[in-house]
Structure 1
Amino acid sequence: MTPDGRYLVVRGRLWRRANPALDEACRARLMRELMAARRDKGAAMRRGDAAAREAARARVDAAKHALGERGPVWWDDGAPDLNRRLARNTPYAEWFARLPKGRGERS
């Protein structure tokens, strides 16, 4: 996790975290919906059901927006959204370079 708690680092890429201001019950409900939608998307893809796949994709997107992982940022200090950018190409580059190998999969 970045020092400010906004992103996780996966294979060197920043991924926006869920809004920490969400209460635990709400976050848990949204995570259950997200996981169910992902399972439904996979099942629809295995069945070759394009309509069900698109419906499940929309549910994934809605859950991610509600969690704060997509859409407008949940912080209010004016910092830009660096979601999905390589950590080494962001203001987090110096911090990322200091991580031990394997932490955030630094390469």
Structure 2
Amino acid sequence: MSDLGNTTDDERFFLHSGRRWRKTDPSLPEDVKARLMSHLGRGRSGVRNSAKGDDGTALPRARRTVQLAKEGLGERGTPWWEQSAAERKARWTAALEELDTLHAKRSAPPAGDAARKSPSDA
């Protein structure tokens, strides 16, 4: 990974609807970027859909997912061009670990479900 401290504003930001947005960290490995983008998409979808039967936890969880994914991508938090290569890697690693944990809790079957299945159900 190279030092990104000398990047220009054109490399750091883009304009959309008259607003300046931070670009994704260009040093992200493609597989890491793909995983973070997947989490971001799920989080945004969760924010949109949380009003439908929200039990009070769906919206905060979806917003946390979006925040973590954006931080991992370098679009929020400390600007990626101000971080060392090690700090950037630590940023996306921590975000992915928390996102994977957050979604593992959500998608894990309730305790006891596996025990109730008969061998013929497998």
Pairwise TM-score range, normalised by the shorter structure: 0.5 to 0.7
What value does the CA root-mean-square deviation take over the aligned residues? 1.9
Structure 2, unaligned runs of 5 or more: 1-7, 84-122
3-state SS in 2 of match to 1:46: coil
Name the TM-score, length of structure 1 as normaliser.
0.64
Q: Distance in 1 between matches of 2:41 and 2:61?
A: 14
Using the TM superposition, give the Cα deviation of residue 3 of structure 1 relative to its aligned residue in structure 2, in angstroms.
5.7
Q: Counterpart in 2 of 1:52? A: 58
Matched, 1:68 2:74: yes
Q: Counterpart in 2 of 1:80? A: none
2:115 is aligned to: none
- 1:28 paired residue among 19, 31, 34: 34
Q: Which has the higher contact order (CA 8 A, sep 6+)?
A: 1
Superposed CA offset, 1:5-58 (max 9, x none): 111101111100110010111001100110011111211123344321011101
Q: Distance in 2 between matches of 1:9 and 1:60?
A: 20
Cα distance in 1, alignment partners of residues 50 and 79 from structure 2: 31
Task: Give the TM-score taking structure 2 as reference length.
Answer: 0.56
In 2, the alpha carbon distance for the partners of 1:6 and 1:29 equals: 21
Residue segments in structure 1 that go unaligned for 5+ positions in a row: 78-107
Structure 1 partner of 2:15: 9
Q: Which of the pair has more CA radius of gyration?
A: 2
Distance in 2, matches of 1:70 and 1:76, equals 12
Identity across aligned pairs (percent)?
Answer: 39
How many residues align? The count is 76
